[in-house]
């Protein structure tokens, strides 16, 4: 069962939301509804579900409704219509008390501008959620201290937020959320206000934290590179609607429409595409069955100057070149073993493209893609260049 399930969730800002909903159902756009009624559609009939332990990224340009959507999830903003299920319980029907319990125990939020309490120390900030739950002072200090240590701020307990740098302040924000030990973290552009370098550190740390703590994270960003890096899945928003949900690969390789494609265009592909996306089915010969003659025949048929050699289990052995093969035929050598070369560049399925680029750059022969020593594909130089240039159809 998904931990969060959202059905048809809609938020209209304004005095007559019902009117706007009717127009939405008639298929009018956000722009038209604003023109006609003065109501702003914040989120338009969003539906998705988030699995436990997943980093679910919600991405879109400024004003596309990300902040509204994430605030609907804990009802900091009241939905106009739609349902939110958390562990199967319908949040939209909860009374205030039950809702508070969910906010206290299950979901914690991290804010774009940190939203730390300036009059409280770092420790007191991290304690806040537990204090609200009336956890005894000693216990909550202990838990808050642990959370602060987890984010590397164990020695700043008595400082005030203003004494810390932006990156450190956001660590406090993260610790404040973690101290509650929630199942879900809601992070609204949590890293957007940070310098690029610090931002990268925080991204890496969050990924580490997530892999050890197995929190479910709903991560909002307007930055596609961040989305691709962080997300197990990404939901792309436009004008309040979700236009595509998919893994980073799906979004990159199969953009659902022009909007997504445009978004994806300027991403640095070398970081996201991996060997798997650009490899081809390799021509091979079997070392146990074939000799130099067959090798040469295959190579001249395919118009290639070298060929990969495997055994019957497709374990990669090496390669032979056309020159060596014809020499062997002249010398009447029958065994491929004698002309086998093993200095072959290799990559894994998930090796990122920028690394493959480096490997292939210094090598006259293609890169072999292996999985547990078994040959699964081959990457030729041209494919790398084409993919880096953003040529679609890379995945043949």
Partner 1 sequence: MMLDFIPEIPISDWTTDFTKWVTDKFAFLFDFIKDNFGSLMEFLTAQLMVIPPIIFILIIAVLAFFLSGKKFGLAAFSIVGLWLIYNQGLWEHLMNTLVLVLIASALSVIIGIPVGILMAKSKIAETIITPILDFMQTMPAFVYLIPAVAFFGIGMVPGVFASLIFASPPTVRFTNLGIRQVSKELVEASDAFGSTGAQKLFKVELPMAKATISAGINQTVMLALSMVVTASMIGAPGLGREVLSALQRAQVGPGFVAGIGIVILAIIIDRLTQSSSKKENM
Ligand X SMILES: Nc1ncnc2c1ncn2[C@@H]1O[C@H](COP(=O)(O)OP(=O)(O)O)[C@@H](O)[C@H]1O
Q: Is residue 180 near partner 1 by the rule CB under 8 A?
A: yes
Residue 184 CA to residue 106 CA, distance in Å, equals: 6
Q: Is residue 222 near partner 1 by the rule CB under 8 A?
A: no
Q: Is residue 16 near partner 1 by the rule CB under 8 A?
A: no
Question: Tokens representing 296?
Answer: 């040469």
Which residue from 37, 39, 44, 67 is in contact with ligand X, where contact means CB under 6 A? 67
Q: Which is nearer to partner 1, 4 or 344 (CB)?
A: 4
Q: Which of residues 3-62 bind ligand X (CB under 6 A)?
A: 13, 40, 42, 60, 62
Q: In the bound complex, what is the minimum distance in angstroms from residue 240's beta carbon to ligand X?
A: 7
Q: Is residue 253 near partner 1 by the rule CB under 8 A?
A: no
Q: Is residue 173 near ligand X by the rule CB under 6 A?
A: no
Given ligand X, Mg ion, partner 1, none, residue 60, with its beta carbon under 5 to 8 Å by kind, binds: ligand X
Which residue from 34, 61, 115, 329 is in contact with partner 1, where contact means CB under 8 A? 115
Q: In the bound complex, what is the minimum distance in angstroms from residue 188's beta carbon to ligand X?
A: 7
Q: In the bound complex, what is the minimum distance in angstroms from residue 236's beta carbon to ligand X?
A: 11
Q: In the bound complex, what is the minimum distance in angstroms from residue 60's beta carbon to ligand X?
A: 5
Under rule CB under 8 A, how many of the chain's residues touch partner 1? Answer: 25
Q: In the bound complex, what is the minimum distance in angstroms from residue 79's beta carbon to Mg ion?
A: 17
Which residue from 7, 28, 32, 63 is in contact with ligand X, where contact means CB under 6 A? 63
**Binding residues for partner 1, per CB under 8 A?**
71, 74, 76, 100-104, 107-109, 111, 113, 115, 117-119, 128-129, 131-133, 176, 180, 186
């Amino acid at each position: 069962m998904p931990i969060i399930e959202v059905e048809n969730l809609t938020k209209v800002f304004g005095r007559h939301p019902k009117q706007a909903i009717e127009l939405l159902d008639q298929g009018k756009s956000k722009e038209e509804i604003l023109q006609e009624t003065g109501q702003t559609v914040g989120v338009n009939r969003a539906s998705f579900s988030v699995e436990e332990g997943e980093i679910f990224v919600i991405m879109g340009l400024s004003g596309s409704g990300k902040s509204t959507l994430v605030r609907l999830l804990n009802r900091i903003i009241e939905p106009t219509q739609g349902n939110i299920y958390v562990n199967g319980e319908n949040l939209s029907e909860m009374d205030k008390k039950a809702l508070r319990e969910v906010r206290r125990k299950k979901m914690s939020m991290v804010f774009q501008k940190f939203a730390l309490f300036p009059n409280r120390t770092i420790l007191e900030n991290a304690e806040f959620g537990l204090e609200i739950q009336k956890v005894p002072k000693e216990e909550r200090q202990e838990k808050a201290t642990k959370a602060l240590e987890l984010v590397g701020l164990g020695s700043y307990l008595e400082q005030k937020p203003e004494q810390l740098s932006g990156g450190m302040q956001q660590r406090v924000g993260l610790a404040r959320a973690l101290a509650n030990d929630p199942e879900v973290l809601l992070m609204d552009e949590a890293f957007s206000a940070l310098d690029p370098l610090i931002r990268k550190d925080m991204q890496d740390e969050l990924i580490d934290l997530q892999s050890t703590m197995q929190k479910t994270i709903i991560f909002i960003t307007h930055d596609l590179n961040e989305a691709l890096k962080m997300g197990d899945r990404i939901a792309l928003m436009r004008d309040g609607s979700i236009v595509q949900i998919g893994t980073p690969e799906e979004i990159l390789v199969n953009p659902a429409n022009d909007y997504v494609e445009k978004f994806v265009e300027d991403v640095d592909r070398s970081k996201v595409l991996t060997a798997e996306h650009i490899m081809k089915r390799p021509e091979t010969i079997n070392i146990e069955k074939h000799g130099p003659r067959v090798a040469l025949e295959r190579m001249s048929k395919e118009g290639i100057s070298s060929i990969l050699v495997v055994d019957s289990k497709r374990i990669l052995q090496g390669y032979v070149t056309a020159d060596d093969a014809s020499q062997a035929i002249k010398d009447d050598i029958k065994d491929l073993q004698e002309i086998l070369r093993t200095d072959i560049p290799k990559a894994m399925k998930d090796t990122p493209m920028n690394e493959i680029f480096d490997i292939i750059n210094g090598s006259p022969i293609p890169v072999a893609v292996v999985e547990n020593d078994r040959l699964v594909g081959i990457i030729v130089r041209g494919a790398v260049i084409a993919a880096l240039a953003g040529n679609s159809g890379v995945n043949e």
